[in-house]
């Protein structure tokens, strides 16, 4: 059978990325141009700036991906592109580019849900991974517990009622003046701190169901910081980071294990930017082992935004017959 070559484009937030995959799981090129250094100055992603940078970078990343893969446009079987969720202006850059490419090459276009992309990162890393399983998707914009019944067949078991877990990391880091993005900085500082120093709340942990809430935890950390400042007491950033992170990790891992067991599965995957968190990976691994659950997570480069994961999700949509036309639009709040 002829190999299926996917050219994938991702531009939903502040990474302009292009990847080329063979038969969905073999990554031939995975080029990511990050804008973090630009947005750092503003303490977060500035949507208008992100769109403009995507326009400047998209041609470059596509050409680089083709070169790395040793491919020409004529070798590509179909285009996969993120069409939501994300920042509308940012999404439109990748989507318009992908549509033009598919149209001019006369090959199919397949729109991909960014969240589905995140969970698909595990298929790339783990050759033997096949549905069904439960997955925990934790990123800057999303916190979802999903039952993956088959490729493209999902049931949402729970999600955050307010802030996403990565957003909580970013907001806490910002309040402490630590920089952007907050997750990797908090992760690093937490290694030097005491996770039991401050007793931050574990919202929803004893609630029925699998929903999450992180805004109360965020307020609790902000209140703690304010009260320490009022009392002119020293704030030990390492302890605050470690205690905050422990609260997030505790709830995420507890609910993920519970959902996996309740649904009768022995396989759990983790994905999204927050899946790069060392405490989350370690805690979940330990708790999964104790319960006889096989835990899989992607390497760091496939945790945060990239186009390889979009290509993998796009490949399965493609072989399942999904085709999009030139009317495909960006959907900023697209649901999985």
List interacting residues with ligand KG4 (CB under 6 A).
13, 139-141, 166, 169-170, 181-184, 187, 272-274, 276-277, 304-305
The least distance separating ligand KG4 from the CB of residue 223, rounded to whole angstroms, comes to 22
Q: Is 35 in the site for Zn ion (CB under 5 A)?
A: no
Question: Are the CB atoms for 238 and 190 separated by under 8 Å?
Answer: yes
Q: Is 305 in the site for Zn ion (CB under 5 A)?
A: yes
Q: State the Cα–Cα distance between residues 263 and 158, nearest whole angstrom.
A: 13
Helical packing angle, 182-190 and 278-290, nearest 10°: 70
Strands in 109-113's sheet, in edge-to-edge order, are: 26-34, 15-22, 5-10, 78-84, 109-113
Closest to ligand KG4 by CB, 35 vs 260, is: 35
State both tokens at 182. Answer: 């907050």
Which listed option, ligand KG4, Zn ion, none, makes contact with residue 214 (CB within 5 to 8 Å by class)? none
Q: State the Cα–Cα distance between residues 316 and 5, nearest whole angstrom.
A: 12
Closest to Zn ion by CB, 45 vs 109, is: 45
Q: In terms of DSSP bridges, do strands 267-271 and 153-159 run parallel, antiparallel, or are they unpaired?
A: unpaired
The least distance separating ligand KG4 from the CB of residue 224, rounded to whole angstroms, comes to 19
Closest to Zn ion by CB, 57 vs 139, is: 139
Which listed option, Zn ion, ligand KG4, none, makes contact with residue 181 (CB within 5 to 8 Å by class)? ligand KG4
Closest to ligand KG4 by CB, 6 vs 143, is: 143
* Other Cβ atoms closer than 10 A to 330: 24
Q: State the Cα–Cα distance between residues 230 and 172, nearest whole angstrom.
A: 18
The least distance separating ligand KG4 from the CB of residue 32, rounded to whole angstroms, comes to 10
Strand partners, 243: none
Q: State the Cα–Cα distance between residues 21 and 25, nearest whole angstrom.
A: 7
Which listed option, ligand KG4, Zn ion, none, makes contact with residue 170 (CB within 5 to 8 Å by class)? ligand KG4
Nearest Cα neighbor of 53 from 28, 84, 17, 27 is 17
Q: Which of 30, 35, 139, 245 binds Zn ion (CB under 5 A)?
A: 139
Closest to Zn ion by CB, 305 vs 324, is: 305
Stretch of residues binding Zn ion (CB under 5 A), selected from 71-79, 135-143, 180-188, 274-282: 135-143
The least distance separating Zn ion from the CB of residue 87, rounded to whole angstroms, comes to 11
Residue ranges in contact with Zn ion by CB under 5 A = 139, 305
């Amino acid at each position: 059978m002829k190999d299926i070559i996917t050219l994938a484009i991702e531009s939903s937030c502040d990474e302009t990325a292009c990847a080329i995959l063979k038969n969905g799981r073999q990554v031939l090129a995975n080029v990511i141009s990050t804008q973090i250094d630009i947005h750092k100055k503003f303490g977060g992603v500035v949507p208008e700036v992100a769109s403009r940078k995507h326009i400047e970078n998209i041609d470059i990343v596509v050409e680089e991906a083709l070169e790395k893969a040793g491919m020409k446009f004529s070798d590509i079987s179909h285009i996969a592109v993120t069409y939501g969720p994300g920042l509308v202006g940012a999404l439109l850059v990748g989507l318009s580019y992908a549509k033009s490419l598919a149209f001019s090459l006369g090959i199919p276009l397949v729109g991909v849900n960014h969240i589905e992309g995140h969970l698909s990162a595990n298929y790339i890393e783990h050759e033997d991974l096949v549905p069904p399983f439960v997955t925990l998707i934790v990123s800057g914009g999303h916190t979802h517990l999903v039952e993956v019944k088959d490729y493209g067949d999902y049931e949402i078991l729970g999600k955050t009622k307010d802030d996403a877990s990565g957003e909580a990391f970013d907001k806490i880091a910002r309040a402490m003046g630590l920089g952007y993005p907050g997750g990797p900085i908090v992760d690093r500082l937490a290694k030097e701190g005491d996770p039991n120093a401050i007793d931050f709340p574990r919202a929803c942990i004893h609630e029925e169901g699998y929903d999450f809430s992180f805004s109360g935890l965020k307020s609790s950390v902000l209140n703690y910081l304010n009260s320490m400042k009022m009392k002119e007491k020293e704030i030990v950033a390492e302890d605050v980071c470690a205690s905050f992170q422990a609260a997030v990790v505790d709830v995420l891992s507890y609910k993920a294990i519970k959902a996996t067991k309740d649904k009768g599965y022995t396989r759990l995957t983790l994905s999204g930017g927050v899946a790069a968190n060392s405490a989350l990976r370690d805690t979940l691994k330990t708790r999964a082992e104790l319960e006889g659950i096989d835990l899989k997570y992607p390497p760091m480069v496939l945790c945060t935004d990239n186009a390889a994961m979009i290509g993998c999700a796009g490949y399965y949509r493609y072989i399942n017959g999904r085709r999009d036309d030139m009317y495909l639009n960006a959907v900023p709040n697209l649901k999985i």
